[in-house]
Amino acid sequence: MKSYEIVREIFNQCSNNQMRDVHIEEKDVEDPEAYVREFCQGKNASIEKDVRPDGTEIFDINIAGLRQRFSFTPID
């Protein structure tokens, strides 16, 4: 199991409020993609994955029009 800093961003849909909710935690995760799929389980979600050169895995999620992003940065 690998340790990650997980950042979850929830993008605000209101045009007058561009701030986003941000949640940060450190957690041991076996598979970041499985973690995100479990989070979305039972919801009509689209998931896009991107891997940055530094090893950070980014998952952009859309659940019924609500955009969220999970970023998994490995902790050495």
List, for residues 17-56, the tens digit of each pLDDT value: 666 789 999 999 999 999 999 999 888 899 999 999 999 9
Residue 16, classed as helix, strand or coil, is: coil
Per the rule left: phi > 0, alpha: psi between -120 and 50, beta: everything else, 42 is left
| Neighbour tally for 46: CB within 10 Å | 9
* pTM across the whole model: 0.87
Strand 57-63 versus strand 20-29 pairing type:
unpaired
Q: C-alpha distances in angstroms, 58 versus 1, 29, 34? A: 18, 14, 13
Name which residue leads in pLDDT, 14 or 4.
Answer: 4
Tell me the C-alpha distance between 68 and 66, whole Å. 7
